[in-house]
Structure formats: C-alpha cells, structure tokens
Amino acid sequence: MKVEHLDGVTFGSVVTEIDLETLNNEEWDELYELWIERALLIFPEAFLSPEGQDEFAKRFGDLEFPRAALSNIGKDGKVHHQDDDEVVKSLRGNEGWHHDSTYMPVQAKGAVFTAEIVPSSGAATGWADMRAAYDELDPEIRDRISNLNAYHSLYYSQGRAGNLPDKQNDDGTYNLYGYHDMEVSLRPLVKVHPVTGRPNLLIGRHAHDIVGMGQEESTKLLDDLNDWACQAPRTYHHQWTVGDAVVWDNRRLQHRGTPFDMTEPRRMWHTRIAGEPSSELAINHQDDAIPSDLVERHPTGTWAC
Ligand SMILES: [Fe+2]
C-alpha cells in the first residue's frame, strides 16, 4: 500500500498498490486509521465491482443506502440535460457545498463514490475541510457561533437554488429521498468528531435559520462562514478518471459537484455510510422517532444529494 498526501491541502491522500476487495485485517486497520487522519482517500482506477463497492463501504459502518447511481442518464438510457428536467435539477443542487444527509434525522458518516462514465471536461468533485476551517476561524467568530444551532433541510437548499421537483404530494412532500415529512433536523454549527474529538464546522447549503437569530442575519452568517471556510488550502477538487474510487468522512468534510456539459453522459455510483445515532442524530430527533421505513418510503432511484 502506497500513500501520498495531497499537496498543499489540509486533508486527503492518494492510495495505490492496494486491492480494496481483498483487504486483510492489517491493511484494513491501516486504511481506517489513514481515513480518520486524512478524511478523504482517493484510489485511482480501482475499478470496484458493484458488490465490492458496497462491501468496502460496509467496513466503515452500516449503510444508509447501498450503491445508487448519481447520473444524468435515465433508466431508458436517455441523457437528461434540459434546465427544467428533474434529474438535472437534483444534480445542480449538488453543486452547492454540503455534508450529506444533514437534512435526515441521522447525518451520514461518509460515502464511497466511484466513476463509471466521465464526461470530456468538468464534473470534478470538490471537498472542503471543516476541521481546518474551525481551527483557523477568527476567535471572535468562533466564540459567536460556539453555541448556535441551525436547521438543515433539503426543501430549503433545493428551494433556494430553484431546484425543487415539480411533482408535489398533497401534503407538500415529494416522493424522493431526503424530502421526508418529519421534523426539520436541528444541528450545532460546531460539532465534535466522535473519533478524533476535534471540533469542526457543520454548515453548508442545507443549513438555515439559526435558532434565536433573525432570518436575514442568519442567512448572512451562514453564507459568510461557508464562503470563507470553502477556500484554499482547505479545498481539493478531484478530476475523475473512469474507475476511480474515493471514500470520505462526511462528519469532517463538505463536498460538492461542479458543472459539466449535461448533453454528455456521466454516471457515478454512491454508497452512503450511515452515521451512528450516538453522535450523528439531530438535536431534536430521538432514536425511536425515526420510522424504519423512511428510506423505503423515499427511494433513492437516481437521486442522491
Ligand atoms: Fe452529496
């Protein structure tokens, strides 16, 4: 196993000379430790099999959902590219910095993400280190935000960017993943990582309406924090090659998609690793309040944010 840290960035390593589908215990221990330390591991041209991708993800924890396509290619093979297309709107939404599933009762622990079909240009995925951002934050701002909580909602983030689906149910929900009808998740702006014990910012496009603050002030504070936090040397964008695989720690990093010519096909595969309720449960949710059929009622299909 050969490890090279990303140059000039506060996180991330490229790992080669390893077969992710036949890891022995020693290799796994080393890899897990590296993941905790570096938060993003990149495996160039790993070519994980569909089963191998989920099996690798399961080493990190239970799955929030198994391997799902993140793609502009429809089930009929048609490439979706029109601005008002539902698939396009979902993908565009992903271009805002975010932590996955902060809008769910339990925030995701991480994800394994692989590239099957890559367009000729664009479509890089970016990550941003919210631990380094917290560490480098102006002490006055750090004090100001230390006890603040914000709501996290996919209705909010997709609505703000003009990307809500067209087809709405009578009760205002949508039959798509993340648009649940439960209480909107409330989360701290500063969260301690359950393994490292290090604090990091928990912000991004799903965060809105800080408790006890006017809407305008809250939006400005969250936007300013996000703009400042997601800058070099705390960001890295990976330009994909077919077969590449990555795994990231969603508790520490934000991520985003970047634009590409959507007349060209792109297909990525995303396996989402569930967060542990002991550390990733929203402040206002209790374990027993999460319906066991939440994922089934809101299928992922080609959708994942
Ligand atoms: Fe995402």
Residue percentage of the chain with pLDDT more than 70? 94
Compute the distance from residue 301 Cα to the ligand 1 centre, in Å. 15
pLDDT at 181 over 50: yes
Checking if the pLDDT of 301 tops 50, the result is no
**253, 238 contact by CB (below 8 A):** no
CA 56 to chain centre: 18
Residue 164 alpha carbon to ligand 1 centre in Å: 16
CA 98 – ligand 1 centroid, Å: 6
Q: pTM of this prediction?
A: 0.94
3-state helix, strand, coil in the chain (%, to 5): 25, 25, 50
> Under CATH, domain 2-297 is a member of which superfamily?
Clavaminate synthase-like (3.60.130.10)
How many A from CA of 304 to the centre of ligand 1?
7
Cα 276 to Cα 287: distance, rounded to the nearest angstrom: 11
Distance 140 CA to ligand 1 centre (A): 30
Q: Are 94 and 256 in contact (CB under 8 A)?
A: yes
User: Residues whose CB is under 5 A from ligand 1 (ion)?
Assistant: 100
Helices (H) and strands (E) in the chain, counts: 9, 15
Q: For residues 254-264, give the mean pLDDT.
A: 96
Q: Tell me which of 16-30, 189-203, 253-267, 281-295 is least confident.
A: 281-295
CA 300 to centroid of ligand 1, rounded, Å: 13
Q: At 131, list the tokens.
A: 């631990």
Give the 3-state secondary structure of residue 72: coil
Residue 260 and residue 119 in contact, taking contact as beta carbons nearer than 8 Å: yes
pLDDT value of position 92? 87
**Do residues 234 and 132 lie in contact, with contact meaning Cβ atoms separated by under 8 Å?**
yes
Q: How far, in Å, from the CA of 110 to the mean position of ligand 1?
A: 10
Alpha carbon of 95 to ligand 1 centroid (Å): 9
Query: How do the domains of the chain map onto residue ranges?
Result: 2-297
Strands 40-43 and 13-16: parallel
Residue 136 alpha carbon to ligand 1 centre in Å: 24
CA nearest neighbour of 184 among 204, 165, 208? 208
User: Among the residues of the chain, which ranges form H helices?
Assistant: 25-38, 50-58, 86-93, 130-136, 139-145, 154-160, 215-229, 277-280, 294-297
Instruction: Read off the pLDDT of each residue in 57-72 and give the average, rounded to a whole number.
Output: 95
Report which residue type is found at 78. K
pLDDT digits (tens, 9 = 90+) for 212-222: 999 999 999 99
Identify the pLDDT of residue 290. 64
Instruction: Using the mean position of ligand 1's atoms as its centre, give its distance from the Cα of residue 18 in Å.
Output: 26
* List of E strands, 94-243: 110-117, 125-129, 149-152, 185-188, 190-192, 199-201, 207-208, 235-238
Measuring CA to CA, which residue among 279, 241, 272 is closest to residue 255?
272
